Amino acid sequence: MNRVARVTVGAFVVAIVSSSLLALTGSVRAQQQRAPVAGAPVGTLPDRESLNSGTVTVITAPIGGPMSVMGSDMAAVLDEGESLRVLPILGKGSAQNLVDIIMLKNIDMGFVATDALEFVKTEYNIPDIAQRVRYIAQLFHNDVHIVARREIRSLQDLNGKRVFAERSIGLPAARTIFRRLGIQADIDSQTDPTGGLQKLIDGQGDAWIASVSKDAPIIKGIKNDGGRLHLLAVPYDHALQDIYLPSSFSSEEYPNLVPPGTRVDAVAASTVLMVYNWPENSERYRRTARFVDALFGKIQVLQSPPRHPKWRDTVLSAPVQGLVRFKAAQEWLDGARAMQSPAQDGNPAEFRKFLDERKAQARMSPDEAARLYSDFLKWQRSKEPR
């Protein structure tokens, strides 16, 4: 190649390189111009800091149960624009919700059944778990349903038997009840709830456990031809009383699993709104305190149609054994009580008055006592300041 040709090619290469560099420089400058400056306003969107400081997250449960619907109810009713926004998140159930409340950075609070505490404490070896969390309020109860083959007549008959108890719906109850009553069962926690129930129906197991609200469609829908299955009684044993409450199932509630005109003893766990034990001087504590004010102040709206009927089981003042209430929630309740007259203050005399008004008998069965006490709580709730 002669000298003139080499000069021409060199000039051409330089031109190409220069053009590429200019294009790259222009692209970088354009990207820099498009990239938002940290903290700078973005059009007319709300201020980033204000929006974040007013948002709380609530972890619920998979779609299909009351938790997910109640989370949506809170998002709709408690919304106060930038000052308070409730962001529901679908979770995997009580046990995982509790783990997520303790471990995930972006979770403020969530729905947790009280028997999940003992399960997580044992499963993950967390002896101080009750100090890591606080509860805001007791919301409703989940009844422990044990659907068993007809041959299984008592809990002790489940020793050595195959039991389906999926982690999100039944494993905490199964582990807690069996451990406390000394039952060694072969628990399958991997099969999903519907699959586990179908395997029981097909004869591949001996029992299926679910901690869910009464009248659960999945249980009411069991086609129990020939009475091969039944709801197994869970006695209100002393070993269970620090976690569970007495309950029962009637033939009206489950005509497919309970003989006509009879009832089956059961136990129920409280489902509470649980929150991480935030330090009082933290932004997360102040944010959750604003949520508490809105929740307690608007509970009557949540307990009215068209909101989920389980809200009507919520008793804000009901204590939860073994747990400490979130301080801002306790202060709200203390302030509400201070505004009540002495005649309105709930005490043993109130319960006696309730019994007298209904001419209740001095002798009653544990089942009758449980139902009457539930009626008393509803009666007491009707007088609470809203």
Q: What's residue 221's pLDDT?
A: 92
Q: What's residue 115's pLDDT?
A: 94
> Model confidence over 22-70: pLDDT tens digits?
444 555 455 555 555 555 566 766 666 666 667 999 999 887 789 999 9
Residue 11 in domain: no
Residue 160 in domain: yes
Residue 3 in domain: no
Q: What's residue 377's pLDDT?
A: 55
Q: What average pLDDT does this structure show over 282-299?
A: 94
Residue 37 in domain: no
Domain count, the chain: 1
Residue 331 in domain: yes
Amino acid at 219: I
The model's pTM is: 0.75
Of residues 216 and 306, more confidence is placed in 306
What pLDDT band is residue 344 in, cutting at 50, 70 and 90?
A: very low
Residue 24 in domain: no
Mention every residue, 6+ apart, whose C-beta is less than 8 A from residue 95. 116, 119, 120, 123, 167, 168, 171, 172
In whole angstroms, how far apart are CA 339 and each of 314, 327, 342, 385?
Answer: 21, 19, 9, 9
- Whether pLDDT at 346 is above 60: no
> Model confidence over 75-118: pLDDT tens digits?
999 998 878 999 999 999 999 999 999 999 999 999 999 999 99
The boundaries of the domain holding residue 331 are 48-339
Residue 344 in domain: no
What pLDDT band is residue 341 in, cutting at 50, 70 and 90?
A: very low
Residue 356 in domain: no
Q: Write the CATH number for 79.
A: 3.40.190.10
DSSP assigned state of 65: B
List the one residue out of 167, 169, 163 whose CA is nearest residue 149: 163
CB–CB of 205/191 below 8 Å? no
What pLDDT band is residue 252 in, cutting at 50, 70 and 90?
A: very high
Q: What's residue 3's pLDDT?
A: 45
Q: 357: burial class by Cβ within 10 Å (0-12, 13-18, 19+)? A: exposed
